[in-house]
């Protein structure tokens, strides 16, 4: 499979689209059973989770709601502990079962922030569904109820995840290819000489 270039760096496939679809399907099945008759609200954390939530809720066959919050904590390729709320929660949360939908849980700062907001708003039950989970980077203790794929502690792009605003549209998930990236750098240097 060939590498792709994003923002001048070379990335290789780490998780294929069919692996992603299978993992999303498995979570949806679990949710259909666990949250039957609970009319859950899926609260998608933008931007990264837009693809995941779309594929997930297409396979959720129980009555449910879907809404969005927009937060930002990531700068280029690392997480910062400072979370900015760009679009807040505007649904009635009191007494509801809410499923926070994240693209990736890294340090856990984002998920904890949303969780605490929902607690303050008196949610009846809060579940967390994440497409990817990086256990090596996780610093919190909240359980991730539905993890589709356990990921290595590497920087990933694709399927909603971006590198400097690019790559969200990719259907597979990619990781930086250090060897190919070095070669690319050498080639670019030669050309620019
Ligand atoms: P946390 O607050 O758990 O440290 O980070 C959560 C957010 O950082 C995720 O929702 C995601 O938007 C971003 N993030 C974490 N790891 C990665 C990664 O490997 N690649 C990209 N593109 N974003 C990431
Ligand atoms: Mg996210």
**Per-residue confidence (pLDDT) for residue 35, from 0 to 100:** 98
Report CA(105)–ligand 2 centroid distance (Å). 7
Output the pLDDT for position 182: 83
Between CA 43 and CA 113 the distance in angstroms is 13
Position 73 pLDDT exceeds 80: no
Residue-wise pLDDT for 133-179, tens only, equals 999 999 999 999 999 999 999 999 999 999 999 999 999 999 998 88
Q: What is the 3-state composition of the chain as percent helix, strand, coil, each rounded to the nearest 5? A: 30, 35, 35
If one compares 192 and 102, the residue with the highest pLDDT of the two is 102
pLDDT at 192: 67
- Ligand 1 pocket residue status of 177, Cβ below 6 Å: no
In this structure, are residues 64 and 92 in contact, taking their beta carbons and an 8 Å threshold?
no
Give 184's pLDDT tier (boundaries 50, 70, 90).
confident
- Ligand 1 atom with the shortest distance to the CA of 107: 4
Which atom in ligand 1 lies closest to the alpha carbon of residue 48?
12
Band of pLDDT at residue 71, cut at 50, 70 and 90: confident
In this prediction, residue 78 carries a pLDDT of 59
Which range, of 42-56, 61-75, 98-112, 133-147, averages the lowest pLDDT?
Answer: 61-75
pLDDT at 114: 94
Ligand 1 proximity of 106 Cβ (cutoff 6 Å): yes
Average pLDDT in the 88-117 region? 93
Instruction: Convert 89-155 into a string of H (helix), E (strand) and C (coil).
Output: CCCCCCCCEEEEEEEEECCCHHHHHHHHHHHHCCCCEEEEEEEEECCCCCCCCCCCCEEEEECCCCC
Confidence of residue 77 (pLDDT cuts 50, 70, 90): low
Name the strand (E) or helix (H) holding 174: strand 173-176
Q: What is the pLDDT of residue 74?
A: 55
Tokens at 112, concatenated: 């904890």
Ligand 1 and 161: CB distance under 6 A: yes
| Residues involved in catalysis | 106
Give the residue, by CA position, lying nearest to ligand 1 atom 13.
74
Backbone angles phi, psi at 55, to 5 degrees: -70, -35
Q: What torsion do the CA atoms of 49, 125, 25, 37 make, to the nearest 10 degrees?
A: -130
pLDDT, one tens digit per residue, over 14-43 is: 999 999 999 999 999 999 999 999 999 999
What average pLDDT is seen over the chain? 91
């Amino acid at each position: 499979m060939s590498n792709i270039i994003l923002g001048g760096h070379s990335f290789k496939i780490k998780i294929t689209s069919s692996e992603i679809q299978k993992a999303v399907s498995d979570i949806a099945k679990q949710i259909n059973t666990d949250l039957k008759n609970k009319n859950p609200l899926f609260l998608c954390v933008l931007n990264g989770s837009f693809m995941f939530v779309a594929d997930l809720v297409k396979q959720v066959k129980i009555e449910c709601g879907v809404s969005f919050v927009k937060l930002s904590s990531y700068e280029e390729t690392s997480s910062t502990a400072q979370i900015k709320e760009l679009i807040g929660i505007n649904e009635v949360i009191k007494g509801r079962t809410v499923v926070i939908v994240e693209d990736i849980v890294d340090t856990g700062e984002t998920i904890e922030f949303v969780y605490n907001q929902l607690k303050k708003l008196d949610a009846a039950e809060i579940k967390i569904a994440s497409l990817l989970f990086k256990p090596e980077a996780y610093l919190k203790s909240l359980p991730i109820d539905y993890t589709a794929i356990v990921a290595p502690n590497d920087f990933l792009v694709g399927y909603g995840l971006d590198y400097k605003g690019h790559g969200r549209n990719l259907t597979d998930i990619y990781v930086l290819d250090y060897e190919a990236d070095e070669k690319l750098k050498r080639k670019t240097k030669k050309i620019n000489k």
